[in-house]
Structure 1
Amino acid sequence: MARETNSSSRNSVTDAAEMATSFGFTTVAKGEKQDLVDDVFHKVADRYDLMNDLMSGGMHRVWKNAMVSSLNPPKLGAADWVHLDVAGGTGDIATRVVEKSGRTINSVVCDINGSMLGVGKERAQKAGLSENIEFVQGNAEELPFPDKHFDAYTIAFGIRNVPQIQKALEEAHRVLKRGGRFMCLEFSQVDMPALDKVYDLFSFHAIPHIGKVVTGDGAPYSYLVESIRKFPNQERFAQMIRTAGFERVTYRNYTGGIAALHSGWKI
């Protein structure tokens, strides 16, 4: 596991309550963040993969494949094994999980944003996965599912956009079965002294400009870059996962900490 460093944690939020009012580097009134985040994703829904390509240099695809490989969904005799992907409206992760299982398991995608879900439903239909993937509109902080219902819960590049992250983690714990696994892939805090400076220059100067050129609006990309810097670093987030009730909590850095994969189990 990686160590905390001063350079990578200098802007990260340390108080969970502050996350609910942190819209990037802007402080907003309590209760306002969700609508602002929704507006961002309504704007970028059709270009979600492009957004992640711009922010990761295309590496998000490699990281997502690594997460699904680590999850290792069952391939045989798993008709009752059910996967939940939260904040994954376009079906990107759910599709990978279902395909990794050889299309033997079912996945439920839950996202608060209807535009993202619309993109996901269309993609699932084109891929012939409508019977394997269900799309449900819902809030990560109040999941519309019963207790102990899912075998695995994943969330990729979405949890930093949830106003009350601790509440979302507790909901993840609630809906998982005993023995269920929580996995979160998220942009994180770079822990390499040289890389962090290059990444800062690219993030704050290049990404919003490229976003504006490609989509006509750089503001959503500025928010997304800022939200990464405000997100708790690896150790702080791991502790939040433990506080939610998960055990055997670990994380693995990808590409020098640009992203990190967190894992926990409901024992």
Structure 2
Amino acid sequence: MAGGDTLRDTEATHFGFREVPLAEKQALVDDVFATVARRYDLMNDLMSGGLHRLWKDAMVNTLAAPKSSRPFRLVDVGGGTGDISFRVVEGAGPAVTSTVCDINPEMLKVGEERARERGIDDRVTFVEGNAEELPFGNSEFDGYTIAFAIRNVPRIDRALAEAYRVLKPGSRFLCLEFSNVDVPGLDKIYDFYSFHLIPRIGRMVVGEAQPYEYLVESIRRFPNRAVFSDMIAAAGFERVSATPMTGGVVALHSAWKI
């Protein structure tokens, strides 16, 4: 089953193209992001040619956090370095706040430092937690974002159920994730770049190719837009949509808790 969802702890899932016990995947993913934490944003620039900034801006614009004094609470899951949260808070009204929830303490540490440097640590808070079991109450948040992180969750269905649980009725779920390229010719170029060049870039920048080999492999194993949309709907969300960008390299998934 795609993404390792609905599997029991005793069964297997995938870490990239490797089959591993489900209980071990999270630790392996944690090791990857601990390795690249300090240079994660730099690598995103190099891997995407800077396009990740435009994709994230599209997500933030779609969220449309209020620019007025109306309170708005965002939970940004898997957002360790704070990239999405900073964009939201700095472009919104004074009563907009964000809670970054990430399972990796090294990523959170980087995010906390950057929030202090920007002078917005009173509006962006950082909480260690698992997307499959969020440390928040029911119906706490006005918005939920997750960018380039849900494919690393061992049980995607549980993460989607938790997203639904913590959102208030009438609130929006947004997921930005790599997708399936659907432009003839671009798919072959993208595969060559991903499997041959990205690991080399990773070796030059962080000293290791393995974390980026995993990241590329995890992209290829992620469900396509239609399958993932069905998973979002199965979690209880309505008005589910998927907008491909850059020829399908990424997609912005949107849904509402009605």
TM-score, length basis structure 2: 0.96
For residues 65 and 49 of structure 1, the distance between their equivalents in structure 2, rounded to whole angstroms, comes to 15
For residues 43 and 103 of structure 1, the distance between their equivalents in structure 2, rounded to whole angstroms, comes to 35
Match of 1:16 among 5, 8, 18: 5
Matched residue SS, 1:32: helix
For residues 199 and 47 of structure 1, the distance between their equivalents in structure 2, rounded to whole angstroms, comes to 23
Match of 2:40 among 48, 52, 59: 48
1:209 CA displacement = 0.7
1:33 CA displacement = 0.3
- Preserved CA contact (<8 Å) 2:4 2:22: no
Partner of 2:182: 191
- Preserved CA contact (<8 Å) 1:157 1:186: yes
- The answer on 1:101 being equivalent to 2:92 is yes
Deviant stretches of 4+, over 3 Å: 12-20
For residues 190 and 13 of structure 1, the distance between their equivalents in structure 2, rounded to whole angstroms, comes to 18
For residues 31 and 71 of structure 1, the distance between their equivalents in structure 2, rounded to whole angstroms, comes to 34
Partner of 1:61: 53
For residues 100 and 241 of structure 1, the distance between their equivalents in structure 2, rounded to whole angstroms, comes to 28
Report percent identity of matched pairs.
Answer: 60
For residues 3 and 79 of structure 2, the distance between their equivalents in structure 1, rounded to whole angstroms, comes to 26
Give 5+ residue unaligned stretches, structure 1.
1-11
Partner of 1:216: 207
- Preserved CA contact (<8 Å) 2:70 2:93: no
Structure with more contact order per residue of length (Cα contacts < 8 Å, sep ≥ 6): 1
Partner of 2:66: 74
Partner of 1:38: 30
Match of 2:246 among 222, 230, 255: 255
- The answer on 1:166 being equivalent to 2:157 is yes
1:55 CA displacement = 2.6
Return the letter of the residue paired with 2:26: Q
- Preserved CA contact (<8 Å) 1:21 1:32: no
Give 5+ residue unaligned stretches, structure 2.
none
- Preserved CA contact (<8 Å) 1:72 1:100: no
- The answer on 1:156 being equivalent to 2:147 is yes
- Preserved CA contact (<8 Å) 1:20 1:33: no
Aligned Cα RMSD in Å?
1.5
TM-score, length basis structure 1: 0.92
- Preserved CA contact (<8 Å) 2:179 2:249: yes
Return the letter of the residue paired with 1:173: Y
